Structure 1
Amino acid sequence: MTTPEENKALVLKAFDTLFNKRDYDTAWDFWSPHYIQHSAHIKPGREGLFDLIRAVPPTLKYEHQLIVAEDDYVIVHGRFSGNGRGVAWVAADVVRIEGGKLAEHWDVLQDEATRAESQSGNPMFGGFFPEELNPA
């Protein structure tokens, strides 16, 4: 059995390999052949996930801000920018690890709010609103 710390490192390495590096051959080994996808916007299995990433622009960038783990579950708070939509997604990804591989996935996605859109007045990711990071 792996530790929560090992599971966190595995998820971050897998996400970086697939989403940032687009190294599909290496990334394939991080996901279980029996991978279960619970996200409504992604087709089943690791094939569905990989096909989705192949379809988004090569400018896609994933970064994480917070990661927590308990037993075989990891939750990552992250941002997917450069997705071709004009607005980044802020995500909470829940991953279950089994046998040293990503075995199951759920997510909650939300468009990243600008300062003008934020009722709370606080950014959704990090310490800055998106327009403050990339001023026009």
Structure 2
Amino acid sequence: MTNKDKALALINTFATGDTDAAKNLLAEGYIQHNLAYGTGRDAFLGSVTYLASAPVKTTVNNIRAFEDGDKVFLQTVYNFAGAGEQVAFDIFRFDSNGKIAEHWDNLAAKAEPNPSGRTQIDGTMEKELVNAEETRKIVSAFVGDVLRGEHPEKLTSYFDGDTYIQHNTGIADGLSGLGAALEALGKQGIQMIYDQTYQVLADGNYGLAVSEGSFGGAHTSYYDLFRVENGKIVEHWDVMETIADKSTWQNQNGKF
């Protein structure tokens, strides 16, 4: 099994309830960054057992899967025990023994199509076999210059005119759609702030950036997936999640 196969097999144990499979895939010292769950392999196995016992079966629908060195990153739709569909990005780190040793994620409720009629998960599926380091470089620079606001005057240089396919639930296509959405937020006194970026993973012409900031004053985790074409950003998917108050955390590993 490739690392990608292993990551997909692990998330499918939520649907199958196969704790033996999960145990074989996980490192004993598994580090969990989803703050709603305990850390360690046994805590993960407990979650699989709990979901298997629920009256409504959990469903797992992977949309896209990528690999970058010792990490795999996935875009998936979950419905945990009938609680409602959630769109998620998962990141798994593998140790030198090929075991899954660490996990980060961001989840948000599945929403209606955005103003351009696009959903959180549709769009281009094909991956170009280009240099991932070039993709990482472009995505890292865009996140710093534009999202963190270090060089906002460079915004238009990252795009081919108004060509920009947008899957954010509240924003229409194009730089024009992005501008209109930010203007509307500004009128409501809502600020979308990116303070720090922790990871930029890349596979072919796709790059995922993991950042911390705030949205409307709420402590927020941002996962942004970009597709790059001919050196320009052409498509974007994201999941924003409000970070729970520390008093509710089930582990102390932190979100990032």
TM-score between the two structures when normalised by the length of structure 1: 0.75
Summarize the alignment of residues 63-102 of structure 1 with structure 2, pairs less than 5 Å apart: 63-81=196-214, 83=215, 85-102=216-233
Alpha-carbon spacing, 1:62–1:51, altered in 2? closer, same or farther (3 Å): farther
Which deviations, in whole Å up to 9, do the C-alpha atoms of 1:15-67 show, x marking residues without a partner?
A: 2211233644421110233110011022321222234445354x833421111
The alignment status of 1:31 with 2:164, answered yes or no, reads no
Higher relative contact order (CA 8 A, sep 6+): 1
CA contact (8 A) 1:2 1:100 kept: no
Q: What is the number of equivalent residue pairs in this alignment?
A: 122
CA contact (8 A) 1:115 1:122 kept: no
CA contact (8 A) 2:144 2:151 kept: no
CA contact (8 A) 1:19 1:53 kept: no
CA contact (8 A) 2:208 2:224 kept: yes
Give 1:107 shift: 0.5
Summarize the alignment of residues 1-136 of structure 1 with structure 2, pairs less than 5 Å apart: 2-21=130-149, 23-32=151-160, 33-53=162-182, 55=186, 56-57=190-191, 60-81=193-214, 83=215, 85-125=216-256
Read off the aligned partner of 1:71 and give its amino acid letter. G
Give 1:76 shift: 1.2
User: Which ranges of structure 1 fall in alignment gaps of 5 or more residues?
Assistant: 126-136
Bigger mean CA offset, 111-120 vs 28-37 = 111-120
CA contact (8 A) 1:91 1:109 kept: yes
Give 1:13 shift: 1.0
Alpha-carbon spacing, 1:52–1:22, altered in 2? closer, same or farther (3 Å): farther
Give 1:9 shift: 1.2
| RMSD across aligned positions (CA) | 2.3
Q: Distance in 1 between matches of 2:249 and 2:155?
A: 35
Alpha-carbon spacing, 1:17–1:118, altered in 2? closer, same or farther (3 Å): same
> What is the percentage of aligned positions where both structures have the same residue?
24
User: Which ranges of structure 2 fall in alignment gaps of 5 or more residues?
Assistant: 1-128
